[in-house]
Structure 1
Amino acid sequence: MKLVLVLLVSTAWTFTGAQYYYQGLMDYLENRLLAIEDRMQFWHDQSHRYHTELLDFKKLTVEAVEGIKNEHGLLFKDLEGAAARVDRVEREMDYVETQTSPRACANKADKVVEQGAWGLQESRGEEEEEEDWEELYSRVSDCVEIISGIRSVKILKRVGSPRGMWTRDPRSSKVYVFNGTSGDSVYQFKSVRDFSRSPGVTGSRRLRLPSDWIGPGSAVYNGYLYYIQQEADTDVQVVKYDMLSGSVTDIAMFPVESQAAVYSLNPETVADLAADDEGLWLLYATSDSEPNIYLAKMDPATLDIEQIWDTRCPRENAEAAFIVCGTVYVVYNTRLASRSRVQCIFDVNDMVISEEAPLLYFPRRYGSHASLKYNPEERQLYGWDDGYQIIYRLTMKRKLLV
């Protein structure tokens, strides 16, 4: 009987302990679920707040973008108006330049009148007049013209690299293209029309030179090609190449102390050869420390240097130059390509001085000239401007001696 009672009491205690244990476990699980629900509610509230802030930020961004768009439209309209005003000013400047006659000055004893008649300012004896005229003819050649303006501009095409040179032989209709700043090839076309109609340089005759030409400073004169070659840092040479026989006929060194670009804005131009009515010329710099451009008159047959001048035209900000009737016209620009202008003139016959010559402006085009070559037969300039081949027709007038 006692045993049964003990078993009943033990069983009752066991059920009571299990009940308390499971009740505690359920309470713990319920508390954890409530904590998770509270955390989920907190996350939901935070997500809702972030979403609301994102919508507000998006709205502000859209409003800012619309404001910037409106301001951009107003600014673009202002720029269009400014560009139109600049174009109008440039057209007016071009008109003024075409209407302005250049002032030329030289020897005060003599005068060349517009009609081409030669005379003296004062009446003197015949012997004295003959001596004066002999002195005058010893200094002045038959070419007595100066550029008065740019008559017209023709953009022929765009071919090749941004820098290069093209020209026409004054004694024929053939056109020669030097693409780039160095190479051993020259492209020959039968005429300017053939070059303008050709796609690129195809359809041309390719001349392979025995050595590389350096810089866009070559020249074509009387069936010969004159170009610059460089074998060392200071070993700069002028090469005369016979295009008919395909051989080099002469090579000459020219006097430089160290390698220096003749134009600061075109460092590839080590020297610049030019041909005009009076023959073959060479523009160069004696050294990198020399601030001015030097001019040498060369014998086209032997490449001998006949005379050297200091043009007193600075190399700084110069981009190109050309020679007309023994007068050097140096073209200047800025580091950021702007409107090219002739700002310095040097006449080997002392008939024109730079201070009294007019400033000639080139019509604004693309960038800056890599080369400018004058053709005395056509009175035209062949320019290479940022890969564009351009022809400038010039107006001329006689030099005046006062």
Structure 2
Amino acid sequence: MKLVFILLLSTTWMLCGAQFYYQALMDYLENRLLAIEDHMHLWKEQSRQYHMELQDLHKRSKKTIEGLKQGHSMLSTDVEAAAARLNRVEQNVDFVESQTSPRACANQADRVLEQGVWSEEESRGEEEEEWEELPSRVTDCVEIISAIRSVKILKRVGGSKGVWLRDPRSSKVYVFNGTAGDTIYQFESVKEFLQGSPGVALGRPIRLPSNWRGSGVAVYNGYLYYIQQGEDMNVVRYDIIGGRLMDVAILPVESRAAVYSLNPETVADLAVDDQGLWLLYASGETEPNINLAKMDPVSLDIEQIWDTRCPRENSEAAFIVCGVVYVVYNTLQTSRSRVQCVFDVNDKVVSEEAPLFYFPRRYGGHASLKYNAEEKQIYSWDDGYQILYRLTTKRKMLV
């Protein structure tokens, strides 16, 4: 009997303990579920708040974007208006600069009066006055540039530096892409050069017997003149039509110093005008000025040499018209190219009284300027753009 009682008591105790344990477990699980529900409610509230904030941010962003679009449109309109005003200002500045050009760096010489291009009526009206021309020493040309009449941007072909020019004795155009190479391209005319899409010019390639260097090239009466790449300063004369090397001349210079400080690749510059072939060069690294030489276009002999007194510093290019050298200057941070030094081999023109003009603002700096005496215009290479400058000339007369 006692054993049965103890067994019943143990069973009852175990059942009460199990019930208590399960009750505690249920309470724990219920509390955890309530905690999870509270967290889920909190997350729901936070998600709703974040969603509302995102909607508000989207609305504000949309308003901001619309405001930016309106501001961009207004800014574009203002920029276009400013560009138009700047263009008018530059035109006015060009006019003022053409009327009041700065003095160039040159020495004093005989005073010269530059008269405008005379019409027949004006010439008859001035017959009673006595005008005496200076005797010609090197050339018989009596013209000097007075202004740039017009500018025409034709195309953009090739790299930032190069040369393009036309033979004054024919319609053929030649393109030198870059500052060195052994291949040039020939076009039958400017019109053919313009054909094709922008950035593409398909001309007839011409392989030269040696590499050319710099922008100091010239084409005259079917012959190409260029500075040969190498240690010596060699001038090469090449027959373009016959495709053969005609002559090579070594220039008596101390070193291959750049003739223009802003275009160091050009150690010498060959130029052609009404009177023939010219050479612009620096006799050495320490030479501050640009030297000029008159060359025989057949034998390449140097006939006469001058010190132009035009400094090499800040010079970018030069061209020659009627025996007058026009040196173009700029800055390292390209600005407005300007003719600031003029030298006349006949001493008819005093640089201080010569019309020193600015080129219209375009892209960068001139890599080359090649005058064509037949057309009275300059073939220019400006940051890959091929540009034509048409010129206006005056007569050089003595007081």
* Offset at residue 63 of structure 1 (A): 3.7
| Residue 19, structure 1, aligned to residue 22, structure 2 | no
More moved, 101-110 vs 70-79: 101-110
8 Å CA contact 2:195, 2:201 repeated in 1: no
Cα deviation 1:93-136 (Å, max 9, x = unaligned): 55667889999995359999965989678xxxxxxxxxxx9xx5
**Partner residue in 2 for 1:209:** 208
**Quick one: structure 1 residues 120 and 240, their matched pair in 2 at CA, closer, same or farther if it must change by over 3 Å?**
same
Give the secondary-structure state (helix, strand or coil) at the position aligned to 1:355.
Answer: coil
Q: Distance in 2 between matches of 1:297 and 1:111?
A: 25
8 Å CA contact 1:106, 1:400 repeated in 2: no
**Partner residue in 2 for 1:319:** 316
**Partner residue in 1 for 2:110:** 107
* Offset at residue 153 of structure 1 (A): 3.1
Q: Distance in 1 between matches of 2:267 and 2:214?
A: 6
Q: Distance in 2 between matches of 1:363 and 1:49?
A: 62
**Partner residue in 2 for 1:400:** 397
**Partner residue in 2 for 1:285:** 282
8 Å CA contact 2:338, 2:357 repeated in 1: yes
**Partner residue in 2 for 1:3:** 3
| Residue 305, structure 1, aligned to residue 302, structure 2 | yes
* Offset at residue 76 of structure 1 (A): 2.5
Q: CA RMSD in A?
A: 3.4
Task: Give the counterpart of 2:251 among 244, 250, 254.
Answer: 254
In percent, how many aligned pairs have the same letter?
A: 67
What amino acid is aligned across from residue 23 of structure 1 in structure 2?
Answer: Q
Q: Distance in 2 between matches of 1:172 and 1:81?
A: 44
* Offset at residue 81 of structure 1 (A): 1.8
8 Å CA contact 1:98, 1:151 repeated in 2: no
**Quick one: structure 1 residues 75 and 296, their matched pair in 2 at CA, closer, same or farther if it must change by over 3 Å?**
same
Cα deviation 1:12-51 (Å, max 9, x = unaligned): 1121111111112112222222222233333333333433
**Quick one: structure 1 residues 157 and 36, their matched pair in 2 at CA, closer, same or farther if it must change by over 3 Å?**
closer
Q: Distance in 1 between matches of 2:333 and 2:70?
A: 31
**Quick one: structure 1 residues 290 and 61, their matched pair in 2 at CA, closer, same or farther if it must change by over 3 Å?**
farther
Q: Distance in 1 between matches of 2:257 and 2:83?
A: 38
* Offset at residue 213 of structure 1 (A): 0.9
What amino acid is aligned across from residue 342 of structure 1 in structure 2?
Answer: V
8 Å CA contact 2:254, 2:283 repeated in 1: yes
**Partner residue in 2 for 1:124:** none
**Quick one: structure 1 residues 138 and 11, their matched pair in 2 at CA, closer, same or farther if it must change by over 3 Å?**
closer
Q: How does 1:59-70 map to 2 (within 5 A)?
A: 59-70=59-70
Cα deviation 1:121-156 (Å, max 9, x = unaligned): 8xxxxxxxxxxx9xx536353112101122333334
8 Å CA contact 2:179, 2:215 repeated in 1: yes
Q: Distance in 1 between matches of 2:379 and 2:12?
A: 121
More moved, 172-181 vs 318-327: 172-181
* Offset at residue 366 of structure 1 (A): 3.9
* Offset at residue 265 of structure 1 (A): 3.1
Q: How many residues align?
A: 386
**Partner residue in 2 for 1:345:** 342
**Partner residue in 1 for 2:265:** 268
Q: Distance in 2 between matches of 1:73 and 1:194?
A: 40
Q: Distance in 2 between matches of 1:54 and 1:198?
A: 54
**Quick one: structure 1 residues 255 and 75, their matched pair in 2 at CA, closer, same or farther if it must change by over 3 Å?**
farther
Instruction: List alignment gaps of at least 5 residues for structure 2.
Output: none
Instruction: List alignment gaps of at least 5 residues for structure 1.
Output: 122-132
**Quick one: structure 1 residues 206 and 13, their matched pair in 2 at CA, closer, same or farther if it must change by over 3 Å?**
closer
8 Å CA contact 1:102, 1:358 repeated in 2: no
8 Å CA contact 1:181, 1:214 repeated in 2: yes
Q: Distance in 1 between matches of 2:188 and 2:114?
A: 42
More moved, 90-99 vs 257-266: 90-99
Q: TM-score, normalised by structure 1?
A: 0.82
Give the secondary-structure state (helix, strand or coil) at the position aligned to 2:33.
Answer: helix
Q: Distance in 2 between matches of 1:205 and 1:3?
A: 126
What amino acid is aligned across from residue 285 of structure 1 in structure 2?
Answer: A
What amino acid is aligned across from residue 322 of structure 2 in structure 1?
Answer: C
Q: How does 1:317-396 map to 2 (within 5 A)?
A: 317-396=314-393
Q: Distance in 2 between matches of 1:237 and 1:28?
A: 102
**Partner residue in 2 for 1:228:** 227
* Offset at residue 273 of structure 1 (A): 0.7
Give the secondary-structure state (helix, strand or coil) at the position aligned to 1:363.
Answer: coil
* Offset at residue 323 of structure 1 (A): 0.3
